Amino acid sequence: MKVLITGASGLLGSRIFETLSREYETIGTYNNKKLDKFHFLDITDKNSVEIFLIKTNPEIVIHCAALVDTDRCEEDKGLASKVNVEGTKNIVENWWDYKCKMIFLSSDFVFDGKSGPYYEDDNLKPVNYYGLTKIKGEGLVKQKLEDYLIIRPALMYGADEYSKPSFITSVLEKLKFEERIYVDNKIMKYPTLTDDVVEAVRKLIDLDLSGIYHVCGEEGITKYKWAKKIAKFYGYSEDLIVESNEQSKAKRPLNANLDSSKIKKVIGNLTSVDEGIRKTFKTKFAKKYNFKIIQSDQIPLEDRTSYGGYSIRRLFTETIDTLAENIGFYETTICPNSIVKNHYHKHSDEILYFFNRGSIRIGSELVSINQNDIVILPRGVPHEVISGNKEIKLLAIKIPNIPEDKIIC
Ligand SMILES: NC(=O)c1ccc[n+]([C@@H]2O[C@H](COP(=O)([O-])OP(=O)(O)OC[C@H]3O[C@@H](n4cnc5c(N)ncnc54)[C@H](OP(=O)(O)O)[C@@H]3O)[C@@H](O)[C@H]2O)c1
């Protein structure tokens, strides 16, 4: 089956593309953020949309492309309407030609947040222009198409490899530099892990279901309390999170609590706030910001015992040569039952190579370490090394920066 994903360069579209590519033939589009694996498409250009759809001839279109910045939509209503309403219209307009299924991404902002929980068929009433454009988009889909899915997620977060940072990653970017973070403590949010939405899309396609589905986290929390949890989990000072009284340009629904029991019958429970922080930590940060543990059995036998360049050289293709002069190697022994206290490095990434078993706490996550494991800790990540009842010998390698594309493990 051929699946077209508009907005594949965005937060959700990129995850949908990655996941569905394992099962289906997928075509992804970008608009401004050029990525070689995707095709350029401007959904506001009616002719190009038509030509693109005829050329690609998909069986399913997952329409993620949108102007999502709620304040920007309020400031530039013309653009918001052009992208979110006209853009959607351009896709559904000639639908009779394509005979495929449309999956439209709507939003919790189609409700005013005054009398939740909201069910799929409740009356729609927005408090801002972005919400209005989503209602109009939904209207076009319902009016013009027979086979469609409308999915309404709430505030999404998760791995954001190509897209704008989502909440957890943007909070961490600031915490890393000990910057204060000013966040709202009045509006109730229902954080939704992108992977839950991806799973919903995947299962709904598999089961060939249609209609409207809410896919929202079930725990209400303000951004302030959420940011505090993030700081605590990662071992940063919670005092850096400060309540903000700043008024946003667009009004927000105070409590857009969407009932997700319908989708739960299809995908099971949605990820809780705490679990979401842990999952994001393990997937995204292993890749970009934080640590990576290489289990010893993944390292070729001949590399496990040698160090001083060689085994590490095997981990970083040619990078090591260009960085060699700046790399510091430090061999350390940690006595039994002791801790190298919580610290982080401001100016260098670090690789820890463990000669014996032990454990390391990264943020508030305690991780067991096997003999010959390697832990990669990009700068700014708080950690402490804990020895068990035996001493730990480890090699610490400090590198000014590990270019992400050079991490081959
Ligand atoms: N993020 C949330 O918290 C949230 C919550 C509820 C619902 N939603 C809905 O979920 C969907 C995905 O959201 P997201 O957070 O993944 O969005 P996002 O990260 O902001 O990505 C938006 C995507 O739309 C593309 N795009 C923008 N203007 C375009 C145009 N004129 N023509 C073609 N493509 C265009 C962007 O391409 P470039 O980046 O390449 O320019 C990008 O790929 C949206 O419909 C949004 O309304 C999002």
Which pLDDT value is given to residue 407?
A: 42
How far does residue 52's CA lie from ligand 1's centre (Å)? Answer: 19
Which pLDDT value is given to residue 298?
A: 54
Backbone angles phi, psi at 167, to 5 degrees: -55, -50
Which pLDDT value is given to residue 401?
A: 57
CATH of 292-406, one of 3.30.1490.190, 2.60.120.10, 3.50.50.60, 3.30.590.10: 2.60.120.10
The ligand 1 atom nearest the CA atom of 6: 34
Q: Give the residue among 256, 214, 219 at the shortest CA–CA distance from 113.
A: 256
Q: Rounded distance, CA 383 to CA 366, Å?
A: 9
298-305: long-range contacts, CB 8 A cutoff, minimum separation 24: 298/409, 299/372, 299/374, 304/372, 305/372
Q: Rounded distance, CA 60 to CA 103, Å?
A: 7
**Residues at CB less than 6 angstroms from ligand 1:** 6-7, 9-13, 30-33, 41-44, 64-68, 83, 87, 105, 107, 153, 155-156, 163-164
- 313-360 confidence digits (pLDDT tens): 434 433 333 444 455 667 788 999 888 888 888 777 788 878 788 888
Give Cβ neighbours of residue 282 (< 8 Å, ≥ 6 apart): none
The ligand 1 atom nearest the CA atom of 108: 6
How far does residue 14's CA lie from ligand 1's centre (Å)? Answer: 10
Indicate the top mutation candidate among 12, 48, 110 to test ligand 1's pocket, ranked by most ligand atoms within 8 A of CB.
12
Give Cβ neighbours of residue 170 (< 8 Å, ≥ 6 apart): none
Residue ranges per domain, the chain? 2-287, 292-406
Would you call the peptide bond into 117 cis, given omega within 30 degrees of 0 as the criterion? yes
Indicate the top mutation candidate among 5, 15, 31, 260 to test ligand 1's pocket, ranked by most ligand atoms within 8 A of CB.
31
Single-letter residue type at 329: F
Indicate the top mutation candidate among 11, 39, 151, 226 to test ligand 1's pocket, ranked by most ligand atoms within 8 A of CB.
11
How far does residue 256's CA lie from ligand 1's centre (Å)? Answer: 20
Which pLDDT value is given to residue 132?
A: 98
Which pLDDT value is given to residue 400?
A: 65
8-state DSSP, 339: E
The ligand 1 atom nearest the CA atom of 42: 32
Question: Nearest C-alpha to atom 32 of ligand 1 is from which residue?
Answer: 42
Q: Which residues pair with 150 in a beta bridge?
A: 104, 212
How far does residue 68's CA lie from ligand 1's centre (Å)? Answer: 6
Q: Which residues pair with 243 in a beta bridge?
A: 183
Q: Rounded distance, CA 356 to CA 144, Å?
A: 64
Fold classification of 2-287 is Rossmann fold (3.40.50)
- 305-326 confidence digits (pLDDT tens): 443 333 444 344 333 334 444 5
- 129-180 confidence digits (pLDDT tens): 999 999 999 999 999 998 999 999 999 998 776 777 899 888 988 887 788 9
CB 176 within 8 A of CB 169: no
Single-letter residue type at 109: F
How far does residue 338's CA lie from ligand 1's centre (Å)? Answer: 49
How far does residue 105's CA lie from ligand 1's centre (Å)? Answer: 9
This prediction's pTM: 0.78
Q: Rounded distance, CA 296 to CA 369, Å?
A: 10
The ligand 1 atom nearest the CA atom of 8: 43
Tens of pLDDT along the chain (409 residues) come to 999 999 999 999 999 999 999 999 999 999 999 999 999 999 999 999 999 999 999 999 999 999 999 999 999 999 999 999 999 999 998 776 667 899 999 999 999 999 999 999 999 999 999 999 999 999 999 999 989 999 999 999 987 767 778 998 889 888 877 889 999 999 999 999 999 999 999 999 999 999 999 999 999 999 999 999 988 876 678 999 999 989 999 999 999 999 999 999 999 999 999 888 877 755 544 444 344 565 555 555 444 444 333 344 434 433 333 444 455 667 788 999 888 888 888 777 788 878 788 888 887 778 888 777 778 787 777 889 998 888 888 878 777 655 544 443 3
Question: Nearest C-alpha to atom 33 of ligand 1 is from which residue?
Answer: 42
Which pLDDT value is given to residue 310?
A: 34
